[in-house]
Amino acid sequence: MPVAVGKPTFAVRRFEGVCRILEEHGYQPSRLIPILQAVQEEYRYLPTEVLTYVATALNLPPARVFGVASFYAHFALAPKGKYVIRLCDGTACHVKRSIPILDALRSRLGLSEQQKTTPDMLFTVETVSCLGACGLAPVLVINDEVHGQMTPERAVALVDAIITKEAQQ
């Protein structure tokens, strides 16, 4: 049963998940990167509020924490879609024509270099520099599932299949 509980008093948010993570890492500033990794695991991305909280808890300037979070490619400062499609653009995949696959996916989903996530939060399309599965080039990963020897048509077909499946639910 859905329950309505009146006014959301966000001030009561106690960052319990973050506290547990910080505890596990002994509140050590040098553990900032593993802490952010764990936080992202918990919240799927790194919300500003949480980063500020982490900075305060570790006694680091928030600008430093933001600097670290925005430096590394794995940290997401905005939420990602339910299906994260990562297209490998390593050398092997590139010479085997990965870019037309990317173009086809973006075109199908109305995404671009700037807009990586669909407004309904279903898909995020991004590239990665190498997944180390060069033998299967070109490679595309949807969440954790690896798909090798891709073509633009096959990639679009995979996306269409997901859209159909989601629509049925």
User: Of residues 22-41, which lie at the interface with another protein (CB under 8 A)?
Assistant: 29-34, 36-37, 41
Angle between helix 32-43 and helix 16-24 axes, rounded to 10 deg: 150
What is the C-alpha to C-alpha distance for residues 87 and 106, in angstroms, rounded to an integer?
11
105 Cβ neighbours under 8 A, 6+ residues apart? 85, 87, 111, 125, 152, 155, 156, 159
Among 22, 87, 131, 150, binds another protein (CB under 8 A): 131
Tokens of 152: 């633009």
Min dist. Cβ of residue 86 to another protein (A): 9
Tell me if 138 contacts another protein by CB under 8 A. no
Q: Write out the binding residues for another protein, residues 96-125 only, by CB under 8 A.
A: 96-97, 100, 103-104, 107-108, 119-122
Among 20, 23, 24, 49, binds another protein (CB under 8 A): 49
Q: Write out the binding residues for another protein, residues 56-95 only, by CB under 8 A.
A: 56, 60-68, 70-75, 79, 81-82, 89-95
Are 50 and 36 in contact by the 8 Å Cβ rule? The answer is no
Tell me if 168 contacts another protein by CB under 8 A. no
Helix, strand or coil, per DSSP, at residue 123: strand
Tokens of 158: 């995979």
Among 24, 48, 110, 113, binds another protein (CB under 8 A): 48
Min dist. Cβ of residue 4 to another protein (A): 5
Min dist. Cβ of residue 83 to another protein (A): 9
Q: Which is nearer to another protein, 56 or 112 (CB)?
A: 56
What is the C-alpha to C-alpha distance for residues 99 and 92, in angstroms, rounded to an integer?
12
